[in-house]
Structure 1
Amino acid sequence: MKSRLTDKKRTFINGVLLTIFLVATPFLFYFYKLAPKGGEEWDTFFGTITPGGFGSVQVYLHALATKSTFVLLTGIWFLTSKNWWKYAILIPFTMFLFQLSGVINYKIEYIDEFDFWYSLPIILPILILLIYISYIAGKKSNNDDGLKKEVDDEIKKLLSDDL
């Protein structure tokens, strides 16, 4: 009995923490506005932030906050989804990860331009698997409709025989 209460409490706490994080996401998205405009460096409690290949620290943090926000949200969506199609979420998640790595690795000249092509080897098997699952589910659904019609016909036949 006690373990059930503990599980319910843990689930509730996890849900509250997830909700707080999701509500705080817009603030993470606008975190870049705290950086000094046009600054070459920003000394923070965590260390010094430099713009890398970007024009200023604020532009760098804007790109970093945007990409990391999308990675976090799609990651949470994937981890909390219970649907069979949840693996489709991996497609945008993969693209956002490639874009985030492009922001962090500032030596890459074009951040968002070629990420789709680099992520294709990961995306294609997922797409093929999802198409196959969709095909099998559609085929099974059509078989179930036929079975349902047969059962309805049998019920009608039995009811008409009784009358």
Structure 2
Amino acid sequence: MFKNPVVKDGIKALAIFLLPFLLYLNTYSPFDLDHELWRNYQKQIFDTPFSGLIYMELTYLYLICLFIIWFKNAKNKHLYGVYFIVISLLANFFTYPIPIFKGYTKSVYLLFHLCSLAYLYFNKDYYYRIRKNNQLNPANLLFIVIGLLYISSTFSVIPYKSKELNLGFITIGSYGFYDFSTFHLAVIIKIYGFIAFLTWFFSEKKWWRYAILSPILLLVNQFYNCIISDSEEDIVDEFELYQSGPFLLAILIVLLLLAQAADHQEQIRAFLKLQYQNIEHAVEQRFGKQQQNIEEKKQRLATKKDLSKAELAALKKELEEELEKLT
């Protein structure tokens, strides 16, 4: 659609920068999303003070979009790991809002993952990219673990009614949430996204990678605000846009400057490419015409069997002059 690669990268950077704001749609929306979008769900899931269903669906939606952008631009060695996270989040996204899945969550998860992995391997492009690159590298294994942790958040591996998690050497409380399972589902998964996006930021080399700082910054602030308060009356993920505002503005300014610099470089590259094509065409025309003259003289020489010494000397001199022009 867009011939200029800087425009494509600019749209990509803007999407990465703005997608985390989608999470705040439920908080700052002028209408009640619970009533307008989910009329069939009268009870808030997880028994939490905030709208659990809408909150989690918006969280999964913006994470899915970000990871899909990453997957489309992922290096071959990260391809499988990022894909695993995408399908894990997609399975999470459709688990709660579709009642038909109720009671069959694990079966749906397994079927969805198998079908998705089958698509990845039967797609020729992805199949060869996976085969030619080692998928058992540390970063890829980390992404697979993150995908499994996203799955565990939906399967409620931790007992639902537990108020804390005892790891032996440390006990982690629920920080004002109804139980630790809710705390894990709403807060701890932010750590997974932070680790993944931080890896993406350092592995990406293009100028638009600084847009990834937007979700990283918001995830850090969201996690911090959740753990500093033990009150059950606080609204989750409400003030981070104000707290992160100055930093987000700085990131946006940097992105605009980098886009301007990238556009300038693209213009220089296009100009040099055009000049190279003009020079190449001129050289081809010059040498092509001289080569044609040489061939004509060779043909004249071949068609004349009986030439005098003077004629031979004249033809020899003409050929030498043409060869000197070529060199």
| TM-score interval for Structure 1 and Structure 2 normalised by the shorter chain | 0.7 to 0.9
Matched, 1:118 2:247: no
Distance 1:146 1:50 in 2: 61
**Deviation at residue 78 of structure 1 after TM alignment:** 1.5
**Map of 1:23 onto structure 2:** 144
**Map of 2:159 onto structure 1:** 36
Matched, 1:146 2:267: no
**Map of 2:213 onto structure 1:** 90
Tell whether the 8 Å contact from 1:31 to 1:65 is kept in structure 2 after alignment.
Answer: no
**Deviation at residue 42 of structure 1 after TM alignment:** 4.2
**Matched pairs, number:** 149
Q: Percent identity?
A: 23
1:99 paired residue among 208, 216, 222: 222
| Higher relative contact order (Cα pairs below 8 Å, separated by 6+ residues) | 2
Over 3 Å counting, the alpha-carbon distance change for 1:148 and 1:105 in structure 2 is: same
SS in 2 for 1:36: coil
Over 3 Å counting, the alpha-carbon distance change for 1:34 and 1:16 in structure 2 is: same
Tell which structure's C-alpha radius of gyration is larger.
Answer: 2
Over 3 Å counting, the alpha-carbon distance change for 1:49 and 1:87 in structure 2 is: same
SS in 2 for 1:149: helix
**Map of 2:200 onto structure 1:** 77
**Map of 1:160 onto structure 2:** 285
Distance 1:95 1:19 in 2: 24
**Deviation at residue 30 of structure 1 after TM alignment:** 4.3
Please, what is the CA RMSD of the aligned residues?
A: 2.2
Tell whether the 8 Å contact from 1:31 to 1:62 is kept in structure 2 after alignment.
Answer: no
SS in 1 for 2:171: strand
Over 3 Å counting, the alpha-carbon distance change for 1:40 and 1:127 in structure 2 is: same
Measured against aligned partners, the alpha-carbon deviations of 1:44-65 in whole angstroms (never above 9, x if no partner) come to 4243333221111211122233
**Map of 1:58 onto structure 2:** 181
Tell whether the 8 Å contact from 1:95 to 1:115 is kept in structure 2 after alignment.
Answer: yes
Tell whether the 8 Å contact from 1:42 to 1:50 is kept in structure 2 after alignment.
Answer: yes
Distance 1:157 1:104 in 2: 69
Matched, 1:134 2:255: no
Question: Which residue type is aligned with residue 76 of structure 1?
Answer: T
Structure 2 gaps, min length 5: 1-135, 290-327
Question: Which residue type is aligned with residue 187 of structure 2?
Answer: L
**Map of 2:325 onto structure 1:** none
Distance 1:132 1:90 in 2: 16
* TM-score, normalised via structure 1 length: 0.77
Distance 2:249 2:239 in 1: 16
Q: Which runs of 4+ in 1 moved over 4 A?
A: none
Measured against aligned partners, the alpha-carbon deviations of 1:1-43 in whole angstroms (never above 9, x if no partner) come to xxxxxxxxxxxxxx73322221111232344523222233444
Question: Which residue type is aligned with residue 29 of structure 1?
Answer: Y
Distance 1:38 1:76 in 2: 34
Measured against aligned partners, the alpha-carbon deviations of 1:84-131 in whole angstroms (never above 9, x if no partner) come to 322221111001111111222234722212212211211211221111
